[in-house]
Every structure is written in C-alpha cells, then in structure tokens.
C-alpha cells in the first residue's frame, strides 16, 4: 500500500477487492449451474416504484467512472421448457440486506420483473456459497 495511507483507506481497499472477488466467484458458480449471467445495470426508484438506469459513480481519486452499480448485482436466465426462468442475484458476504434493499427486492418481485431474488452469501465452509431465497428470509408482513 502507499506510504501514508490511513488504516481506513487500506481496510476499504481490501474490503472492495474481497467483495469483487466474491462477486466473480458467485458468477462463475451460477454459470457452472447452466445459468446465463449478466451484470444488472438498473436500479429501483423506491418513490416511483420503477426500474431506472443506475447512475455511474465518479471516483475523483482514481479519476474513473464506476459502472455496474445496479441493484441487484446480477440477472440470470435459464431455459425452462419454452420459457426462461429469470432471477435476480444480490451478492452479500454476510447475507443481510438493509431496509432499502429489502424494499427494492419487494418492488422487483411485486412488479414481476424477477421470478425470485436470491441472496448469495459466504458459506460456513471456506470457499462455499449459499443461496438464500429472498421470499423465505424476508417474508412480507
């Protein structure tokens, strides 16, 4: 790391790198399961309850635009007879969604944009991935 970088800066870089590695691992795992996977570049506007194009984030330090800040992280398709099964996948190391992420998932499911939303989290055994069905974990009350 650079000389003089703060501890938080170093920790943040390591966390982002670990998150990116885990996202790649989840994508590879889904492709092995015969899913066609792509990065989802849209987001959900909670106020209007519509799917909107996600905004690009600008990092002034690296002078780069960050693309791919959509929610959920991936869209996956799998042939199911004459139709395709369409799911959304949100990658979270710990498997927990915050309140706004839960609201967005509910909107995506209510509007039938995805048949289901899966949350990919790190498994108990090193290197394993667990997939949690959003509807089962966060039942609407």
> CB–CB of 100/45 below 8 Å?
no
**What is the pLDDT at residue 73?**
93
Q: Which of 50-54, 57-61, 116-120 has the lowest mean pLDDT?
A: 57-61
pLDDT tens figures, 105-129: 999 999 999 999 999 999 999 889 9
Q: Which string of DSSP letters, residue by residue, matches 31-75?
A: HHTT-EEEE--EEEETTTTEEEEPPPEEETTTTEEEP---SSSEE
Q: What is the pTM of this model?
A: 0.82
Average pLDDT of the chain to the nearest whole number:
88
In percent, how much of the chain has pLDDT > 90? 64
- Per DSSP, 119 falls in state E
Q: Topology of domain 7-137, per CATH?
A: Trna Endonuclease; Chain: A, domain 1 (3.40.1350)
**What is the pLDDT at residue 65?**
61
* Whole-number Cα distances in Å, 61 to 7, 58, 123: 17, 9, 34
pLDDT tens figures, 62-98: 666 666 578 999 999 999 889 999 999 999 989 999 9
Token representation of residue 48? 């209007």
Domain layout of the chain by residue ranges: 7-137
CA dist 107 and 82 (Å) reads 26
Residue 91's DSSP bridge partners are: 120
Question: Which residues fall within 8 angstroms of residue 62, CB to CB, at 6 or more apart?
Answer: none
Query: Which secondary structure element, helix H or strand E, spans residue 7, and what is its range?
Result: helix 7-32
What is the number of alpha carbons within 13 Å of residue 34 lying toward its C-beta? Answer: 5
Whether 36 shows a pLDDT value over 90: the answer reads: yes
């Amino acid at each position: 790391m650079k000389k003089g970088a703060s501890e938080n800066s170093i920790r943040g870089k390591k966390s982002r790198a670990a998150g990116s590695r885990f996202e790649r691992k989840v994508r590879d795992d889904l492709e092995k399961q015969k899913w066609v996977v792509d990065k989802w570049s849209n987001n959900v506007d909670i106020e209007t309850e519509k799917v909107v194009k996600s905004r690009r984030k600008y990092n002034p330090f690296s002078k780069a635009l960050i693309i791919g800040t959509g929610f959920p992280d991936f869209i996956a398709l799998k042939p199911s007879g004459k139709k395709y099964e369409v799911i959304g996948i949100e990658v979270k190391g710990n498997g927990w969604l915050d309140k706004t992420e839960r609201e967005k998932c509910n909107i995506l499911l209510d509007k039938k944009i995805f048949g289901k939303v899966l949350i990919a989290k790190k498994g108990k055994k090193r290197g394993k991935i667990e997939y949690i069905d959003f509807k089962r974990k966060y039942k609407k009350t």
